[in-house]
Amino acid sequence: MNKKELIASHIARLLQDGEVVNLGIGIPTLVPRFVPGGVDILLHSDNGILGIGPEPEPDGRTRDLIDAGGEYCTALPGAVFLDSATDFGLIRGGHLDVAVLGALEVDQYGGIASWDIPGVRSHGIGGSMDLCAGAKRVIVGMTHCNRDGASKVRRRCRLPLTAKSAVKTIVTDLCVMQVEAPRLVVTCLMPGVTREMVTMATEADIEFRI
Amino acid sequence: MKRKIMSAREALAHIKPGASIMIGGFLQSGSPDHLIRALVRHGAGGLCIISSDSGNEHTAGPELMGSGLVKKIINSYIGCNPVTVELIRQGRIESDVYPMGTFVEKIRAGGCGLGAVITGVGIDTVYAEGKPTIELSGKTYLIEMPLKADVALVHGAVADERGNLALRGTAHNYTLWMAMAAEHVVAEVDEIVPVGALDPETVDVPGILVDALVKAGDAA
C-alpha cells in the first residue's frame, strides 16, 4: 500500500453506513475502494450527481455522466441528477454528512488552506469553500509534510484559507488527528510511526491520546 | 411563432466585440462545443466569458481561450484547462473567481430577479477581502451581486421546435440558470423534435427562454 492508499484506507474506516459523502480530487478519490463491505455510503459530486458508481467499461462512457474531475463514471441504482443550484443548495444547506478534501495546509484551529499558492498556482476555488462551510463534518486526507519536508500541520495556515475552522479530522501518512482547538489530538499512529516522528513533523500544538 | 431553428453562424451573427457570454457545461458535460467553435469563427473579440471552468481537453474550451478573443473570464475553477491556466499565469487575461456555489447563485439571482446573494461561504478568507458584508441573526454574510450576460451558449440533449430543452445526466449543471440570466440564448442540441413530442415532465429549460436552436454537428 503506498502513502496515498494508506491515508485513503484510514479515511474509509471513519465513514458510517448510510452517510452522504463528497470526495474531493486527489487522495479522497481513492477512498471508495477501502470502504468495508456492509458500509454503504452515498457518493455525491459537485457537478450534480448523488450516487456515483465505479468507472464504466470503455463503451459505457458518456459525456452525460462524469464526476467533478471530468472522469467518466456510472450512476448506481437510486442515483439522482441535480442542476448546480440545487446541488450547491444541498452542500451549503448542510445536507451532506461528510466532505473529504485534500489540503496544502491545516492548522490547530481546524483551518484549511487548499486552493491557492500565491504567485505559483492560482487555479480557482471550485466547490471547496462551499463544502467546508456546509458539510456536517470535514475530513482532510493529505501527506504530513510537503515535498521540501516542511510541516503541513501548522499552528496557523500561512497559505490562503479555504475555511477558518472547518476541519474535524486530519488523516496523514503519519497519523490520525482530531481537531480540538486550539490543539490537535493524535488518536492513531500509522504502522511503524513513533510519537517522536509525529512531533518532529508537526508545527501545530499536539497531544497524544492513543 | 418565430422560427428558432437556424445555423450556428446565424445564431451568433449579432454578437459584438466586448460582449459577455455565459457558456454552459461542467467540463465536457453539457459543453456546447459546436457553438463555441462557431463563436471562435465569428471572430468578435474583447469577450467576457462566464464559465465555471472554461472546459478541458475534451471540449472546445482550449480553442476558445487560446483564440485571442477573450479578455476576461468569470469562473470558479479553471485548473482543468491548461490554456486558461497559462493565460492567467502570464497575466494575459483577467479572471474573477468565485466559490462554485456562489458562482451559480449569482447567475440564478441574475435570471430570477433577485437583488443580491447573501452567503456565508468565503467569510474569514482572503476571498472575502473588500467585499461588502451584512450581519443577520448574529452571523456575518457576504453580499454577492447578481450576474447577467448578453449571450448564453448552452447544450441540451433534445429540444422541441418551441425551444423546450430536455437535459441528461450531469449535463444539467448551469444550463437552466444561464438560459434565464442571458439576454440572447442559443441552445445546441443533439435532436430536434416537433412540439408535443417532448413529455412536459422531461422539460428542464422552458422554450420561452431560448432564442435560437442549433442542431449540433450540422454545418456551421
Place of cell 456515483: A52
CA distance B77 to chain A (A): 4
Contact list in A for residue B100 (CB cut-off 8 A) is 46, 84, 88, 125-127, 130
The answer to whether the Cβ–Cβ distance between A64 and B31 falls below 8 Å is no
Helix B100-112 vs helix A84-92: crossing angle, to nearest 10: 120
Residues whose CB is less than 8 angstroms from the CB of residue B100 and which lie 6 or more positions away in sequence, other chains included: A46, A84, A88, A125, A126, A127, A130, B52, B76, B77
Residue B217, pLDDT score: 79
Q: Is the pTM above the cut of 0.95?
A: yes
User: Would you say residue B53 has pLDDT above 70?
Assistant: yes
Give the whole-angstrom CA distance, residue B30 versus residue B32: 6
Supply the mean pLDDT for chain A.
Answer: 96
Give the C-alpha separation, B38 to A164, whole Å: 44
Residues 6+ apart with CB under 8 A from B218: B7, B8, B34
Q: How far is B121 from chain A (nearest CA, A)?
A: 6
Four-point Cα dihedral B186, B192, B196, B199, nearest 10:
-80
Strand A42-45, strand A49-53: pairing: antiparallel
Which residue type sits at B86?
E
**So what's the pLDDT on residue B1?**
73
**Residue B132: is the preceding peptide bond cis (ω within 30°)?**
no
**Are A125 and B76 inside 8 Å of each other by CB?**
yes
**Given a cut of 80, is residue B220 above it in pLDDT?**
no
What confidence score (pLDDT) does residue B2 get?
A: 80
* Interface residue A85 vs chain B (CB under 8 A): yes
Segment (H or E) for A81: strand A74-81
Average pLDDT taken over every residue of chain B: 97
β-pairing verdict for A20-23 and A42-45: parallel
pLDDT of B189 over the 70 cut: yes
Tell me if B189 sits within 8 A of B163, measured CB to CB. Answer: no
So what's the pLDDT on residue B59? 98
| pLDDT tens digits, one per residue of B156-173 | 999 999 999 999 999 999
DSSP H helices in A38-127:
84-92
pLDDT at B57: 97
A130/B100 touch (CB, cutoff 8 Å), yes or no: yes
Comparing C-alpha atoms, which of B157, B126, B58 is closest to residue A113? Answer: B126
How many A-B residue pairs are in contact by the CB < 8 A criterion?
A: 137
- Closest Cα in chain B, distance from residue A198 (Å): 28
Do the Cβ atoms of B69 and B43 come closer than 8 Å?
yes
Alpha-carbon distance B19 to nearest alpha carbon in chain A (angstroms): 23
Section B212-217 average pLDDT: 93
Q: pLDDT of A17-57, one tens digit each?
A: 999 999 998 899 899 999 999 999 999 999 999 999 988 99
Nearest CA in chain B to A119: B89
A64·B104 Cβ contact <8 A: no
Paired residues of B151 in beta bridges: B21, B184
- CB of A63 less than 8 A from some CB of B: yes
Q: What is the CA radius of gyration of chain B?
A: 17
Residue A6 and residue A25: Cα distance in Å, rounded? 16
Burial class (CB in 10 A: 0-12, 13-18, 19+), A14: middle
Q: What is the pLDDT of residues B191-208, one digit of tens each?
A: 999 999 999 999 999 999
Q: Which residue of A has its CA nearest to B101?
A: A88
**Mean pLDDT over residues A170-179, rounded?**
98
Residue B56 CA to residue A156 CA, distance in Å, equals 35
**Backbone Cα Rg of chain A:** 17
Chain A residues closer than 8 Å to B89 by CB = 122
Binding-face residues of A in 110-149 toward B, CB within 8 A: 116, 122-130, 133-134
pLDDT band at residue B107 using 50, 70 and 90 as cut-offs: very high
Nearest CA distance, A77 vs chain B (angstrom): 14
Contact A125 B100 (CB under 8 A): yes
